[in-house]
Structure 1
Amino acid sequence: MAIQWFPGHMHLTQKAITERVKDIDVVIELLDARLPGSSANPMLARLTANRPALKVLNKQDLADPERTERWLAHYNGLPATRAIPLDASLSTPAQQIVRACHALSPNRGGLAKPMRVLICGIPNVGKSTLINTLTGGRKAKTGDEAGITKLEQRITLADDFYLWDTPGMLWPRIVVPKSGYNLAASGAVGRNAFDEEEVALELLGYLKQHYAAGLVARFKLVEHEHEPAELAEMRDEALLDTIGRKRGALLGKGRVNLQKAAEIVMHEFRAGNLGRITLETPEEFAQWLAEGQRADAEREAKKAARKQQRKGGKAAAAEDDAAA
């Protein structure tokens, strides 16, 4: 199942960014450090007209430290781009962000040329929490549901540093299927846009390959067949069933409530109870992206061929009518 979620306010955000970026010096994109590639908005580079970019890998305290370093190296290797890790609950992240912005746009600063920064990110990535930390108050609404912020806000961090906050925004079509699953698992996608059991199975399929020890420890999978080394051979459906039984998610006659089991798995991941996890490496994401773009190009080619075929059929019918 392809996961897509682009409610109306996201279309308005797209238009607002297009207008606002004309007067912006640096664009901050807040990424989820657990899925840095999937949470990077491919539409943003076009909308922000290649402005200098600061990639902030938020929730780094929940992410795999070794993989975070690999992602930082990846983004810091891009032109006009800097990347820093961050935990939005830290008490003093403002200086780090301000320094990074001035490094990207060194000619801005002072009352005559104040720094003008736009902060963007996917829903539920922690943007509002970060802004409240930066301002020392509750300037932005927060919550664990995607799509809390609905309006653009201007926030003054200093006399010569202005920050524009935008609502969380995905993009109209997610061409990387794995990204859709990772976004859903992280909470960036509205619950009505995906099947929780399907997403939980995808999540377990990755975790058992790369973070089996966390699954074994958290869900008390202590039987021999569930040791970390053996877990990779277990079917995803059987693993979800086992977790449901361990947590008492049962229906009548001993059947497992798979919906409830899926909710448990995703809650444990989002809360960081399975350990520090990152669901993708730069190399994995590059492969997924190439495959997704190739499949998307094939879909577009078939769509164009069908359109041309219908057009040709109409033309032939018109010629027959004229001959008659």
Structure 2
Amino acid sequence: MAKARREIKEKLKLIDVVIELVDARLPQSSRNPLIDELAQQKPRLMLLNKADLADPAETERWRAFFKRTGAEVLAINAQTGAGVKNIAPACKTLASALYQKWEQKGMKPRPLRAIILGIPNVGKSTLINRLVNKRQAKVGDRPGVTKQQQWIKVKQELELLDTPGILWPKFDDQEVGLRLAATGAIKDELLDYGDVAAYALRYLAAEYPDLLEARYGIERNSEEDDIVPLFEAIGKKRGCIVRGGLVDFDKTAELILRELRSGTIGKVTLEKAEHEAL
């Protein structure tokens, strides 16, 4: 972590535009607080990745929120390529002052140099491969696949510096950790599936009860604090049963998280933009 931070600071003097990649399902929690420090005053393009899995209305609210901070914001899906074609034009717009400087000095424009920053498993390697239309960056469905920095050309427009994902060493807010765990940003072997699934299920019951009912055919009493009956109902509906007819809570928890992460439950955003604006 410390080594990656030092390397990024060394490279930033070569960078024209900082591209920050976050998860559209938890845009604030999937930001690394160190990126603001590392990016300094560089023009910033923020990409809300995995927008296909997020609540579209919430994504629009988050776009408006981040634009008020001075960043250019795009909602994308690196997996399918949706919105990716807008990245290079957005970088050019952000670097307009640099182009003017080159023109005034009579210099021929060179490809813009951009750095892609983000926490592990947010989709950086998938995005790069989509941009260059080939498998240049290693891709995996687990955090920490990118191990070292590499420069990658995107046609004649951009030169991208890929970097390993940076995750801060501790969470000041436990709920941030739970949100990240629910989406798979933290390695599964470090999690308690039951705790994370319980958090996700409680949130879904409060914010997306219609999705739960549609997926599992169950209703949730909004005034009920105990999440166990909801766990049991889902386990029974989906056949997560052990000997004696009891619900297998571990299997049920795994099911809930898998279906949340894949979007099978529906389009869900795990934090609200209006809460950040307060």
Per the normalisation by structure 2, the TM-score is: 0.91
Give the counterpart of 1:12 among 3, 28, 37. 3
Secondary structure, in 3 states, of the residue corresponding to 2:116? strand
The Cα shift of 1:245 comes to 1.9
SS at match of 2:267: coil
Name the CA distance, whole Å, in 1 between partners of 2:32 and 2:222.
34
Could you tell me which residue of structure 1 aligns to residue 171 of structure 2? 174
Aligned counterpart in structure 2 of residue 129 of structure 1, from 121, 126, 131: 126
- Asked if the contact 1:93/1:134 (under 8 Å) is kept, the reply is no
Secondary structure of the structure 1 residue equivalent to 2:28 = coil
Deviations 1:10-57 (A, max 9, x none): 333222211111211111111110100101111111112231111100
CA distance in 2, matches of 1:74, 1:246: 39
Q: Does 1:29 align with 2:26?
A: no
Which residue does the alignment assign to 1:156? 153
- TM-score, normalised to structure 1's length? 0.79
The share of aligned pairs that are identical, in percent, is 41
Q: Which one of the candidate residues 138, 141, 144 is aligned to 2:141?
A: 144
Q: Once the 2 structures are TM-superposed, how far is the Cα of residue 91 of structure 1 from its aligned partner?
A: 3.9
Letter in 2 for 1:261: T
Closer, same or farther: CA 181–166 of 1 in aligned 2, 3 Å: same
SS of equivalent to 1:55: strand
Matched AA of 1:248: G
- Asked if 1:102 corresponds to 2:92, the answer is yes
Aligned to 1:52: 43
Question: Which protein has the larger Cα radius of gyration, Structure 1 or Structure 2?
Answer: 1
Aligned to 1:255: 246
Which of 74, 78, 95 matches 2:65?
A: 74
> What SS does the corresponding residue of 1:117 show, helix, strand or coil?
strand
Alpha-carbon distance, 1:257 to partner = 1.8
Query: What is the CA-CA distance between 1:113 and the residue it aligns to?
Result: 3.8
Aligned to 1:314: none
* Residues 285 and 173 of structure 1, relative CA distance in 2, 3 Å threshold: farther
Per the alignment, in what secondary structure is the counterpart of residue 154 of structure 1?
strand
Alignment map for 1:185-224 (pairs within 5 Å): 185-221=182-218
Letter in 2 for 1:251: V
Q: Say which is worse superposed, 250-259 or 143-152, in terms of deviation.
A: 250-259
Residues 1:266 and 1:157: Cα distance change in structure 2 (over 3 Å)? same
What is the letter of the counterpart of residue 128 of structure 1? S
Task: Deviation per CA, 1:300-320: give whole Å up to 9, x if none.
Answer: xxxxxxxxxxxxxxxxxxxxx
Q: Which runs of 4+ in 1 moved over 6 A?
A: none
What is the CA–CA distance in structure 2 between the aligned matches of 1:30 and 1:73, rounded to whole Å?
16
Structure 1 residue 89: Cα displacement: 2.7
Q: RMSD in angstroms over aligned alpha carbons?
A: 1.9
Query: Is the CA contact 1:208–1:232 (under 8 Å) kept in the aligned structure 2?
Result: no
1:90 corresponds in structure 2 to 80
Structure 1 residue runs of 5 or longer lacking an equivalent are: 1-9, 288-324
CA contact (8 A) 1:17 1:48 kept: no
Checking the alignment, whether the CA contact within 8 Å between 2:152 and 2:159 is kept in structure 1 is yes
Give me the whole-angstrom Cα distance separating, in 1, the residues matched to 2:186 and 2:72. 27
Residues in 2 aligned to 1:67 and 1:213: alpha-carbon distance in whole angstroms: 16
Aligned twin of 1:269: 260
For the residue of structure 1 that corresponds to 2:235, the secondary structure is helix
3-state SS in 2 of match to 1:254? coil
1:254 offset after TM fit, Å? 2.1
Secondary structure at the residue paired with 1:274?
coil
